[in-house]
Amino acid sequence: MIEFGLLQLIMAVLGVGVGIIFGALPGMTATMAIAIFLPLTYAYDLNTSLFLLLGLYVGGISGGLIPAILLNIPGTPSSITTGFDGFPMAKRGEAEKALKIGITASLIGGMFSLAALCLFTPPLAKLAIQFSAVEKFLIILFALTVIAALSKGNMTRGIFAGFLGVLVSLIGAFADNNHLRMVPDFLKVELRSGFQLLPVLIGLFALTQIFQEAETGMKVSKATYDLNNNDKSKRFSIKDFKGQGINLIRSSAIGTFMGILPGVGGSAASLLSYSQAKNFSKEPEKLGTGAVEGLVASESANNGLTGGALIPLLSLGIPGDSTTAVLVGAFMLQGIQVGPLFITNNRGTWYTILFALAICNIIMFITMFYPIKHIAKVIKLPKNRIYPVIILMCVVGAYAIRNGNMFDVWTLLLFGVIGYIFSKINIPSAPFLIGFILGRDLEKYFVDSIKGSGGSLACFFTRPIGWGIWALIIASILFAVFDNRKARRQQA
């Protein structure tokens, strides 16, 4: 039933390899990789192309952890939270360990979501469409509470930064009525669809860092990171996962479910799972200082996304995230309609997808886990040599995100400067970015909700699933406030 031979294996390896490169380079994403290869798939039959495309998907999502851990620059939006704990570990000399933990967590997350895809697709898809605009709005709000959890000791500032990010994300045209808001006249064309996420992300993380280093003269720090140490605690062992079982399952499940929900962006997955890891942690104060917990939560969630996002796509014809939306094109080009009858009518393709996803996850693990210790050496290269190359990649990525738009390179520079200024006036960049990522969805589902209710805000309190999410939101905020107080008292 499943055609699998050398050609398919080569396709899968190629897909994963290229995907990892795209994921790892700041500014390149899995979505971009799939879009590039879409026309090429026409040369092969659908089943063979699927190995390539799913490889790109899995590789692209996984590759993002490399620069997040080594350079504190997330390679993709969904690996923002990976750097929170991964980078401090790398600074402690545990780069290789952090990478290996991340890769292993990725594999587990990927396999978890594959199991969900394999076993529960129809019921999960049914559950997903029970979530109306109201629930989606509340889930976005819930994901936003990660801001409160992140800005320990300085909560008001963090929340302020978060809402500022939301406001900036709203710049541009509103999709419902095509009217512009908050756009200066001379940028009417360039800012029509607002600032693009990717240039904003790499601007705030990569370029800001370069500006800061430039200010201090970019002193060559010689081998502060010792990679070849013999200290056993700094090396990866499977024991690192001890006590992470529940965390792994919870994070993978959150990732998978975020994938299943159509129209809730993939980045929300790792954000939510990170904040929940913190809320459930026995030592929440350690998250953000290089805790294995945080790393595991982030990486298992973003790979949990992969299988999850395929669930509504294959059972309802509705893509679960932006990357799977691109995948639809591959089916359509071959004249295959993706909709509620897809699985029944295309049994062979359905099994191929499951099989290809499993193979690609395994290939991802093998191609990343073993060579990673060599890649980890990037951290030892002098910064003044790496930064120019990072600038080059960021520029290419920003320009390419909308298939050739120079304004996005200006966006990159602008947010590099903004991030630099933020660091000077003590406004945290991460909450700003999170607000920016979630802002548009927050608005969309808010407006959709009141559209359905005829303007009444009561709609947010009348649905049972909604009540459940409200409870989670309130618990999350209370926890963060409590944590914030504790941190302040410790400071004082």
Partner 1 sequence: MLTINYMPSTSHWIVPPIIMGILVILLFVMSIQRFIKTKKENQPFIQLKNKRFFEENWDKLKLFGTLVLFILYIFAMDVLGFLIASIVFIFLFNVLFAGVMQLEEIPKAFKEKTYFKNEGFCSVCISLLIAIIFSVGIWFLFGEVFSITLP
Partner 2 sequence: MKKRIMALLMAAVMVTGLITGCSKKEDVNSFDGKNIRVVIGSTSTSGDSYLIAETVSRHLAKALNATAKVDAVGAVEAVDAIKNAKPDGQTIMIFHDMTYLGVSFGAYGEEYSLENMTVGPRVAQNPGAAWAAGVNAPYESLQEIPEYLKANPDAICRMACESGGVSHVAFVVFYEWVLENYGQDVADRIVVVVGGSTADKCQLLWDGNCDVIFADYTSLYDYTQTDDQKIAMKFMGLLDNIEGVNIPSYADLGITMNGEEFRFSKDFLVYLPKDIPQEYVDELDKAMETVSNDETFQSDLEAMSYRTAYLKSEDAKTFIYDKRDGLQSLIDAAPSLDDLIQ
Contacts with partner 1, residue ranges (CB under 8 A): 32, 36, 156-157, 159-160, 163-164, 166-167, 170, 173-174, 176-177, 179-182, 210-211, 214-218, 383-385, 387-389, 391-393, 395-396, 399-400, 403-404, 406, 409-410, 413, 416-417, 424, 442-443, 446-447, 450-451, 454-458
Distances (CA, A) of 184 to 195, 254, 413, 414: 13, 39, 18, 15
| 412 CB neighbour count, 10 Å cutoff | 28
Which option in partner 1, partner 2, none does residue 156 bind, with CB closer than 5 to 8 A by kind? partner 1
- 285 vs 448, which CB is nearer to partner 2? 448
- 87 vs 350, which CB is nearer to partner 2? 350
Which option in partner 1, partner 2, none does residue 471 bind, with CB closer than 5 to 8 A by kind? none
**At how many degrees (to 10) do helices 245-260 and 95-130 cross?**
50
- 5 vs 388, which CB is nearer to partner 1? 388
| SS3 assignment, position 180 | strand
- 100 vs 440, which CB is nearer to partner 2? 440
Distances (CA, A) of 125 to 37, 364, 441, 449: 28, 27, 20, 21
Residue type, 305: L
d(C-alpha 33, C-alpha 40), whole Å: 12
Query: What is Dmax (Cα atoms) for the chain?
Result: 67
Which parts of this chain interact with partner 2 (CB under 8 A)? 35, 38-39, 42, 126, 129, 132-133, 175-178, 188-189, 192-193, 262-263, 316-319, 325-326, 328-329, 332-335, 337-342, 402-405, 444, 448, 451-452, 454
Which option in partner 2, partner 1, none does residue 332 bind, with CB closer than 5 to 8 A by kind? partner 2
Min CB(486)–partner 2 separation in Å: 41
Which option in partner 2, partner 1, none does residue 384 bind, with CB closer than 5 to 8 A by kind? partner 1
d(C-alpha 476, C-alpha 142), whole Å: 8
CA 435 to chain centre: 14
Which option in partner 2, partner 1, none does residue 211 bind, with CB closer than 5 to 8 A by kind? partner 1
DSSP state of 181: E
Min CB(328)–partner 2 separation in Å: 4
- 322 vs 423, which CB is nearer to partner 1? 423
* Backbone angle region of 217, left / alpha / beta, with phi > 0 → left and psi within -120 to 50 → alpha: left
Which option in partner 1, partner 2, none does residue 448 bind, with CB closer than 5 to 8 A by kind? partner 2
Which of these, 489, 437, 430, lies nearest to 148 by C-alpha position? 430
Encoding tokens for residue 455?
């303007």
Which option in partner 1, partner 2, none does residue 218 bind, with CB closer than 5 to 8 A by kind? partner 1
Min CB(2)–partner 1 separation in Å: 28
d(C-alpha 336, C-alpha 196), whole Å: 31
